[in-house]
């Protein structure tokens, strides 16, 4: 018996350890022993000595009581009456009554009160355990049912909030829409009920989509799923993943259709959303803002900070810009770009829009973002056809040209015209190279002390099919976009080395840093120098800056090699471009050529004079020779000679010509 008790107690201790029991008994001798056993298996046992006390305790603590064990025959209030009162609060709590009576009236009252179980006295723990087994099963089943009901309620609530739900009858007429459906589409339920879903469908959806849908849900009677483009009452475009289910009766006849929509608009690529909106409105105005130097900011700040900066810029633009907010949409496009689309412009003065855009740009650029970051904006706007393409092209253009605002109307057409023009130039260059019509003119460089010609600068020219001499201004920069720039450089070198046979003076040859970076061009030049070693001491390389140059290590190595061969190095356009002393240290030149923009104003602009004097003073200390370009008259020449410039080059001494 003892062994059995241990096994049973352990079994029910595991089953009942989370439950609380209310035990009501007036017989102290019975209750003492029974309570001790009950406390061994239940989490808590609450004891009361009569029905009235038991009822009072339950009413105060009903939330933490899981079942009740009570005697029937007790003073003040019997067990049946107590159970009857408890049932007014809970119809489901399990109640076990202990009875010593075999009385019909008690049994009848117990049935009316819905007593869960009876146990005859004297109290037998084994009988109690058998009844307890049934009660635990009832409680567990009830808990599972409650959990499922709660989960289902939450699921239904989640669907209602997360999805746009609608129902139609078998003919496709709307019979039900949930609140989320009404909220996102902007129609009232009254406006939707009785209509078809055509009221929200976007006209751009292809007919084939709807044919496939009806064939799937009506003929095949299966679920259909796709992404549809829809529209709100205000014609705002929405993208929604849509599921439509046919609801069938027992005979598999369609009684209604259930539609579930999940809105994807804010998930889709904002560039796509912006593009679709522009296509929707023929007279859309497109504006792009971009955080200036965003690529450099991305190298400095962490992604989280960049996102915060972009969010703040977006908010400020949204707050500051005012172009008729009812027709303005703003998109955060990433990588520092904010896109704006104004869908109507027929009543709007474009000049007013330009002014508003610039005012917003100026205000944001003058404020600190997040109280600590100095951010400036650039902007591009197009009111013309293809506004999105034009505005983006304008944005790229002002980034390249280091500007901050552009009206980019019809810019694509202008760029197309430019491309066609450039293609014609490249074709002209190709023909000139093929027919050896890339030639060199030479402009004299005189010694300021003797006025004797000591050097020439080799300047490229092109002879076109009509025999006209074309300045490099019209073809050289364009040639960088093709494969001909290096070929032109090679031809100029060949021309110049050939001309050295006809003169005793030095020849300066312009050489781009970009050319030096190219291995083929670099090797060509070194090979030419090796073949003409006796001429190297009469060759000067005038280094030309190029913003796209990157590999300065190769440039330095090249300079060291050619200087060892006797070639002199000049830095061209000093005072602009290369005019930083770091480059002087890197390239260790022999000659500095002062930019012509400083020389031409030297007599009337004090700042230009001061800059030239500073360059001369520095060059003298470094034992560098100085050449001044753009010397057009005797007064300029005399001034240059006075402040110590070594050489002069310009029309005053001679125009470029063939040697």
CATH of the domain at 27: 3.40.50.2300
Residue 155 lies in a domain: no
Q: Which two tokens stand for residue 310?
A: 């972009």
Tell me: do 254 and 390 sit in the same domain. no
Provide the pLDDT for residue 3.
44
Tell me: do 254 and 371 sit in the same domain. no
Last residue of a domain, one of 379, 409, 439: 409
Q: Which two tokens stand for residue 248?
A: 């069938």
Q: What is the CA radius of gyration of the chain?
A: 46
- Cis amide prior to 122 (ω within 30 degrees): yes
Tell me: do 226 and 190 sit in the same domain. yes
Is the distance from CB of 168 to CB of 257 less than 8 angstroms? yes
pTM for this predicted structure: 0.53
Residue 417 lies in a domain: no
Tell me: do 366 and 350 sit in the same domain. yes
Residue whose tokens read 């070639």: 567
Spatial separation of the C-alpha atoms in residues 110 and 128, rounded to whole Å: 18
Is the distance from CB of 289 to CB of 328 less than 8 angstroms? no
Spatial separation of the C-alpha atoms in residues 619 and 592, rounded to whole Å: 8
Tell me: do 237 and 285 sit in the same domain. no
Is the distance from CB of 484 to CB of 462 less than 8 angstroms? no
Residue 156 lies in a domain: no
Residue 503 lies in a domain: yes
- DSSP at 595: P
Last residue of a domain, one of 409, 433, 464: 409
Provide the pLDDT for residue 322.
65
Residue 420 lies in a domain: no
| Number of CB atoms found within 10 A of residue 418's CB | 12
Provide the pLDDT for residue 510.
94
Tell me: do 248 and 140 sit in the same domain. no
Provide the pLDDT for residue 545.
75
Question: Given the DSSP bridges, would you call strands 95-99 and 67-71 parallel, antiparallel or unpaired?
Answer: parallel
How many domains are contained in the chain? 4
Provide the pLDDT for residue 579.
46
Provide the pLDDT for residue 638.
95
Cβ-Cβ contacts under 8 Å for 451 (sequence gap 6 or more):
none
Provide the pLDDT for residue 257.
93
Last residue of a domain, one of 409, 442, 462: 409
Tell me: do 355 and 280 sit in the same domain. yes
Tell me: do 218 and 236 sit in the same domain. yes
Domain at 283, CATH number: 3.30.70.270
Tell me: do 274 and 259 sit in the same domain. no
Residue 624 lies in a domain: yes
Residue 654 lies in a domain: no
Tell me: do 257 and 286 sit in the same domain. no
Provide the pLDDT for residue 2.
42
Provide the pLDDT for residue 138.
81
Domain at 234, CATH number: 3.30.450.20
Tell me: do 386 and 279 sit in the same domain. yes
Residues of the chain short of pLDDT 70, as ranges, are 1-5, 101-107, 146-162, 322-327, 344-349, 482, 546-551, 575-585
Helices (H), ranges, 281-386: 294-300, 303-320, 350-366
Residue whose tokens read 């050289």: 476
Which residues form the domain of 61? 2-146
Tell me: do 599 and 451 sit in the same domain. yes
Residue 151 lies in a domain: no
Q: Is 299 exposed, middle or buried (0-12, 13-18, 19+ CB in 10 A)?
A: exposed
Provide the pLDDT for residue 106.
67
**Through-space distance between the first and last CA atoms of the chain, rounded to whole angstroms:** 130
């Amino acid at each position: 018996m003892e062994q059995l008790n241990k096994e049973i107690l352990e079994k029910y201790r595991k089953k009942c350890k989370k439950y609380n029991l209310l035990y009501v008994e007036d017989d102290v001798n019975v209750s003492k022993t029974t309570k001790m056993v009950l406390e061994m298996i239940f989490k808590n046992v609450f004891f009361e000595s009569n029905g009235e006390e038991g009822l009072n305790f339950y009413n105060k603590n009903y939330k933490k009581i899981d079942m009740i064990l009570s005697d029937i025959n007790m003073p003040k209030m019997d067990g049946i009456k107590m159970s009857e009162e408890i049932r007014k609060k809970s119809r489901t709590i399990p109640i076990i009554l202990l009875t010593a009576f075999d009385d019909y009236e008690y049994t009848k009252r117990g049935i009316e009160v819905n007593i869960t179980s009876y146990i005859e006295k004297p109290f037998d723990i084994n009988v109690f355990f058998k009844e307890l087994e049934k009660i635990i099963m009832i409680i567990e089943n009830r808990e599972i049912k409650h959990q499922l009901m709660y989960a289902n309620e939450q699921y239904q609530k989640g669907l209602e909030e997360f999805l746009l739900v609608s129902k139609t009858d078998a003919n496709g007429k709307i019979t039900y829409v949930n609140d989320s459906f009404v909220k996102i589409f902007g129609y009232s339920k009254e406006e939707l009920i009785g209509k078809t879903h055509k009221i929200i469908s976007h006209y751009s959806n292809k007919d084939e989509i709807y044919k496939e849908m009806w064939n799937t849900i009506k003929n095949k009677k299966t679920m259909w799923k796709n992404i549809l483009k829809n529209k709100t009452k205000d014609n705002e475009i929405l993208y929604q993943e849509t599921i439509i289910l046919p609801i069938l009766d027992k005979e598999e006849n369609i009684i209604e259709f259930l539609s579930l929509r999940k809105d994807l608009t804010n998930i889709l690529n904002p560039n796509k959303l912006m593009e679709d909106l522009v296509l929707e409105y023929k007279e859309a105005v497109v504006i792009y803002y971009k955080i200036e130097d965003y690529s450099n900011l991305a190298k400095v700040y962490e992604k989280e900070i960049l996102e915060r900066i972009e969010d703040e810029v977006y908010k400020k633009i949204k707050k500051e810009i005012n172009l008729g907010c009812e027709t303005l949409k703003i998109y955060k496009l990433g990588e520092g770009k904010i896109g704006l689309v104004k869908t109507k412009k027929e009543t709007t003065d474009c000049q007013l829009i330009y002014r508003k855009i610039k005012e917003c740009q100026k205000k944001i650029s003058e404020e600190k973002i997040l109280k600590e970051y100095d951010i400036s904006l650039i902007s591009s706007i197009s009111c013309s056809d293809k506004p999105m393409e034009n505005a983006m092209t304008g944005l790229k253009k002002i980034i390249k040209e280091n500007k901050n605002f552009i009206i980019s109307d019809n810019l694509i057409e202008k760029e197309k015209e430019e491309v066609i023009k450039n293609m014609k130039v490249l074709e002209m260059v190709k023909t000139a190279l093929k027919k050896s019509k890339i030639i060199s003119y030479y402009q004299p460089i005189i010694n300021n002390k003797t006025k004797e010609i000591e050097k020439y600068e080799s300047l490229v020219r092109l002879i076109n099919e009509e025999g006209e001499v074309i300045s490099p201004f019209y073809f050289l920069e364009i040639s960088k976009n093709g494969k001909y720039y290096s070929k032109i450089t090679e031809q100029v070198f060949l021309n110049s080395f050939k001309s050295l046979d006809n003169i005793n003076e030095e020849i300066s040859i312009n050489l781009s840093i970009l050319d030096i970076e190219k291995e083929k061009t670099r090797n060509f030049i070194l090979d030419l120098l090796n073949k003409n070693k006796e001429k190297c001491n009469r060759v000067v390389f005038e280094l030309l800056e190029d913003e796209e140059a990157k590999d300065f290590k190769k440039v330095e190595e090249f300079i060291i090699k050619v200087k060892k061969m006797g070639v002199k190095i000049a830095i061209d356009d000093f005072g602009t471009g290369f005019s930083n002393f770091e480059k002087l240290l890197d390239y260790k030149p022999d000659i500095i050529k002062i930019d012509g923009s400083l020389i031409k104003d030297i007599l009337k602009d004090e700042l230009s004079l001061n800059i030239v004097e500073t360059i001369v003073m520095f060059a003298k200390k470094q034992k560098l020779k100085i050449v001044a370009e753009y010397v057009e008259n005797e007064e300029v020449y005399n001034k240059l000679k006075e402040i110590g410039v070594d050489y002069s080059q310009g029309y005053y001494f001679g125009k470029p010509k063939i040697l």
